[in-house]
Amino acid sequence: MRVLALLLTACALHGADEWPQFRGNPSLTGVATSTVPKTLRLLWTYEAGESIESSAAIVDGTVYVGSQSAELIAVNLADGTLKWKYKVKDGIGESSPAVQDGVVVVGDLSGLVHGVSAKDGKGIWTFAAGSEVKASPVIVDGKVIIGSYDGNLYALGLKDGKIVWQFRTNGPVHATASVAAGLAYISGCDGVLRGIRIADGKEMVQITTGSYTGASPALAGDAAYFGTFDNVVLAFNLKTKKGLWTYENPARPFPFYSSAAIAGGKVIVGGRDKLVHCLDAKTGKQLWSVQTRSRVESSPAIVDGRVYIGSNDGRFYVLDVATGAKLWEFNAGAPLSASPAVAQGRIVIGSQDGKLYCFGG
């Protein structure tokens, strides 16, 4: 019931059919509120020019995404036509836009965080972190929560970009923060899962994981789930601060860079072992896995009992949540390390050859 309440709250805040940030909602569950046609076809493609590793946001019929061409791009969801481009200082890597109250926020590889008008693409503010920003922003309570490779998690004012607080960790902050009950959780490169109070930046939870982590934590109930560079997926109880389980592929131990999706008691995550894994959320037992042809760094989206995920083999896969059966695939011809965004019956994902794809009915 608590998971449902969190999702309903996210829907109320962001509208019932939008994808306003990385992983779709502040808990980073990757679960869409939209429905998607069972039979997909390619509706349009937009050429961004250079690699798209940023995952899109979709709000009010507009798709926002960053590219290595040092541009934040806004295109129409309906037909892929360009609305505007905003030039950043350096390329946009994996930082994915977040949109709220008419402001689009994204970080670039020079360390600048940008606040941009969703309406016309004009700059509103910038904030200079001390090093590159690959984390995606999360907007909550009028604050932008975002990490940098300078080791800090920052809270910035959404309207003006001014620093509200900063929290220093012992390593780069690569992961996107997940939010629940007034806390922002980051799974750190310093091997610590931290819960930082959004109101004032005070650390309220500290759990030593011992693992270098690039993935962002997905939250469901009192639990956090994330993969690590030590070749394991971890689950922790945030209240007791105890580990729930550890999963490792016994045959092919490889790092996990993809962030997990959580739905129906299942944890679904891509691995550098070329597999998409489905684990039982309570026990960590593998329920199924699906082989792709290359590492899977894309983070899955879940819609109506189906998993949507890209692979570095250049293919976009649709899988059955219950069984892992492959239902459909599309060959984009270039690595898909970005994650799908889902809204208004459409799915959008970028590729490393600079193409933005939109699928629908």
Instruction: Answer for the pair 293, 311: CB distance below 8 angstroms, yes or no.
Output: yes
Query: Which residue matches tokens 């995550």?
Result: 269
Point out which residues pair with 74 in neighbouring strands. Answer: 64, 84
Q: How confident is the model at residue 14 (pLDDT cuts 50, 70, 90)?
A: very low
Band the pLDDT of 4: cuts 50, 70, 90: very low
Task: Report whether pLDDT(11) > 90.
Answer: no
Give the pLDDT of residue 15: 52
Query: Mean pLDDT, to the nearest integer, of 211-237?
Result: 97
Contacts of 47 (CB under 8 A, 6+ apart): 354, 355, 356
pLDDT in tens, 50-69: 999 999 999 999 999 999 99
Q: Which residues are CB-contacts of 306 (< 8 A; sequence separation ≥ 6)?
A: 36, 318, 319, 320, 321, 327
Chain position carrying tokens 């971890």 = 234
In this structure, are residues 241 and 208 in contact, taking their beta carbons and an 8 Å threshold?
no
For residue 6, pLDDT over 90 is answered with: no
pLDDT over 90 at 3, yes or no? no
Distance CA 120, CA 288 (A): 45
What's the confidence (pLDDT) of residue 13? 40
Q: For a pLDDT cut of 90, what percent of the chain falls above it?
A: 94
Query: What is the rounded distance in angstroms from the CA atom of residue 129 to the CA atom of residue 291?
Result: 39
Instruction: Give the separation between CA 312 and CA 303, rounded to whole angstroms.
Output: 22
Task: Say which residue the tokens 């500290």 belong to.
Answer: 206
Structure tokens at 129: 């972190």
Mean pLDDT, residues 326-349 taken together: 98
pLDDT digits (tens, 9 = 90+) for 187-198: 989 999 999 999
Burial class (CB in 10 A: 0-12, 13-18, 19+), 110: middle
Instruction: Report the chain's mean pLDDT, rounded to a whole number.
Output: 95
Residue range 222-248: average pLDDT? 97
- Cβ distance 189 to 213 under 8 Å? yes
Instruction: For 121-179, write each residue's pLDDT tens digit.
Output: 999 999 999 999 999 999 999 999 999 999 999 999 999 999 999 999 999 999 999 99
Tell me which residue has tokens 């639990």: 223
AA letter at 25? N
Contacts of 266 (CB under 8 A, 6+ apart): 278, 279, 280, 281, 287, 321
pLDDT in tens, 78-103: 999 999 999 999 999 999 999 999 99
Maximum Cα interatomic distance, the chain, rounded to a whole number of Å: 51
Report the distance separating Cα 6 and Cα 65, nearest Å: 26
- Note whether 215 and 226 are within 8 A (CB): yes
Q: Looking at the predicted structure, is the pLDDT value of residue 245 above 80?
A: yes
Render pLDDT for 18-48 as a digit per residue (tens, 0 to 9).
999 999 999 999 999 899 999 999 999 999 9
